Amino acid sequence: MVRSLKERLRHAFNIAVAELDSGELWNRATLGIAVISGSRSYLTGQLEEIDRAAHRLSPALGAEVIDSYAEFFPN
């Protein structure tokens, strides 16, 4: 399920997606998504779209998005 969600998001948005946790819990996963742009407003919009897509895709894969947040790093 995690691999499928990662691939779908990667394909739909052309982004970098990685599983960040060690996989110790079989029923939880943490995904990290990297997006780069010179425009913070563009990034905000794209991250909102990615979040909506993850929430929309997850139930069909038998999963649930519990939490999400964005962190911005200045250039």
Domain hosting residue 37, numbered range? 2-61
Count of structural domains within the chain: 1
20 assigned to some structural domain: yes
68 assigned to some structural domain: no
Rounded average pLDDT over 23-34: 85
The C-alpha angle with vertex 30 and arms to 27 and 32, in degrees rounded to 5, equals 155
**pLDDT score of 29 more than 70:** yes
The C-alpha angle with vertex 11 and arms to 25 and 8, in degrees rounded to 5, equals 40
Contact (Cβ atoms closer than 8 angstroms) between residue 13 and residue 42: no
What per-residue confidence (pLDDT) applies to 26? 75
pTM for the model stands at 0.86
What per-residue confidence (pLDDT) applies to 25? 73
14 assigned to some structural domain: yes
73 assigned to some structural domain: no
